[in-house]
Structure 1
Amino acid sequence: MKHSQAVLLLSSDFGTAWNVRKLILSKQNHHGVFMEELRLSRIILSNSPKSEPTWSHRRWIIKMNSRSFSTPQEIITKESELVESIGERSKMNYRAWYHRCWLVSYMTIEQVLQELNKLKRWAGPHVADSSCFHYRRRLMLRVLEPLKVKGSNANDKTEAHKILMALWLHRRFLFLNWIMYFCRNLSSETVQSIFMNEETGIFIGNEIHLLESSMTVPDNKFEDFQAQALLASVYMLWLTKHIPEVWSMLEEKLGTEKLKCVLSTVDQERPSLLLHQIDIFAAKQ
């Protein structure tokens, strides 16, 4: 164990050394030994934060500990905090965030909601870190899981409603899950089988209003106002591909001129996305 420790402190990706440690630890099967192993791998990660074998070893330790002993929730909390602290120092660390996503299966619903709240503060100054939003998706799906069970209570749905808010690239995931759990005809498994009830109409109406406001942002307010308008337009066309009924609502709420503006904005950068709209127009004729 001392020899492999020395090797790993020098070369964290030395897989044979990690495998030797796994073999010895599996025979000892002691909670204190597992905790000591987590401490060692934490030290190694402080110097090699993107070492995949080290992260993988931590997951193995947690699984082994949970099989023989109950996994204290404070261990999961500390693991999540470790990823957050490493994320501050090691930008775009996919391996660390994958580890954090993996931890969600060991979390209670209360812990998941706490993680979502904490992540709001972290996501603000780290908008470009897509791994952060992948983690949010994993947390959201964990909250939505009880809704799959017949007879889920009102509190489950209330918590689910609270978390479905996010940025443009995140909205597609949110919209699909909104439809799947709140607007879809429960007798069908397809997204297209939604029924246009009052709640669905309000929700889509709000999305159209968001599009309209994004198209009219003054050019002196944001440096990337053109990108904002493009992303909003692309998002709405993506929406019509999944729910054709949205197109008629766009025509009604935006009018012909604004709708042409939306198509023109997309045509300049993403002309291939308009092929679907041509099919829609052809079908109407």
Structure 2
Amino acid sequence: MNYRAWNHRCWLISYMSSRQVLHEFDTSRYWAALHVADSSCFHYRRKLLLQMLADASEQQNAVACSSQLKLLRKLWKDELDWNEMLIRRYIGREALWLHRRFLSVGWLKHFGAIEQNPTEAGEANNHVKVFLDYELSLLQDCLNLPESEFEDVQSQSIHAASYMLRLNWEICSCSSIDLNQKRSVSDLRELLDRLCPEKSIIWDHLTTKLY
């Protein structure tokens, strides 16, 4: 029933004004923070972000378009920071990692210049590598959590490693950036095979492009 309600709200987004979309994005954050294991609300927030992106791209006035994209960039970065805080606070919640994957790929694609003109390729490469270095730091923190009977540390490790593999795969799928992450990928694959061997087919698929 909860899924159906959120799915209905997703359908309503296309009928909302830009102001209503922004209001929904602001007000749904509190509910999401109280229900971090519920993917439906985070899916709704992703739909809102995509709608704001579409609204900005449809602006015919260049100044208005630039202003909206600037606001959206700030909202996207705030969402990334907020998501990281939730990941560190609530251990082993898959919904948070799924949301981060969307945010990270979207950030690099729309604001971090994954796909750039050839003359800007060097700058794009550097931006992606800086971003990945930060994400690898988050990964290391999640992999080095102390064992606890109250926290699902193993799930956190699986979600974190899987996230990095998928993020690398997504980047390789939409750009020719040389990530030079082969050693990290190998380490992640070894970790995932050990912690979650039943999903080895998925790990095979994600690592094919990275070697």
Give the TM-score taking structure 1 as reference length: 0.54
How many pairs are equivalent?
180
Aligned to 2:72: 159
- 1:280 and 1:159 map into 2 onto residues whose CA distance is 31
Aligned to 2:180: 248
* Residue 191 of structure 2 corresponds to residue 265 of structure 1: yes
Distance 1:94 1:205, change over 3 A: same
- 2:14 and 2:203 map into 1 onto residues whose CA distance is 40
Q: Which moved more, 1:157-166 or 1:172-181?
A: 157-166
- 2:26 and 2:10 map into 1 onto residues whose CA distance is 16
- 1:185 and 1:280 map into 2 onto residues whose CA distance is 18
1:103-118 equivalent positions in 2, closer than 5 A = 103-118=12-27
* Residue 110 of structure 2 corresponds to residue 181 of structure 1: yes
- 2:122 and 2:46 map into 1 onto residues whose CA distance is 22
Aligned to 1:200: 128
Distance 1:275 1:129, change over 3 A: closer
Task: Encode CA deviations 1:195-228: one digit per residue, 9 max, x unaligned.
Answer: 7344333222221111111111111385201100
- 2:103 and 2:20 map into 1 onto residues whose CA distance is 21
**Which structure has more RCO (C-alpha within 8 Å, separation ≥ 6)?**
2
- 1:261 and 1:146 map into 2 onto residues whose CA distance is 41
Alpha-carbon shift at residue 235 of structure 1 (Å): 0.9
Distance 1:215 1:246, change over 3 A: farther
- 2:9 and 2:209 map into 1 onto residues whose CA distance is 43
Contact 1:184 1:195 in 2 (8 A): no
- 1:137 and 1:272 map into 2 onto residues whose CA distance is 28
Task: Encode CA deviations 1:106-141: one digit per residue, 9 max, x unaligned.
Answer: 222222222122111101222232221221111111
Distance 1:178 1:279, change over 3 A: closer
- 2:122 and 2:26 map into 1 onto residues whose CA distance is 30
- 1:194 and 1:103 map into 2 onto residues whose CA distance is 41
* Residue 145 of structure 2 corresponds to residue 227 of structure 1: no
- 1:247 and 1:227 map into 2 onto residues whose CA distance is 26
* Residue 32 of structure 2 corresponds to residue 123 of structure 1: yes
The answer for unaligned runs of 5 or more in structure 2 is: 84-95
Contact 1:104 1:112 in 2 (8 A): yes
- 1:129 and 1:148 map into 2 onto residues whose CA distance is 30
- 2:114 and 2:122 map into 1 onto residues whose CA distance is 4
Distance 1:121 1:248, change over 3 A: same
Q: What amino acid maps onto 1:209 in structure 2?
A: S
Task: Encode CA deviations 1:241-285: one digit per residue, 9 max, x unaligned.
Answer: 22245752474xx6xxxx65532221121322442536644xxxx
Distance 1:155 1:148, change over 3 A: closer
Distance 1:261 1:101, change over 3 A: same
Distance 1:147 1:200, change over 3 A: farther
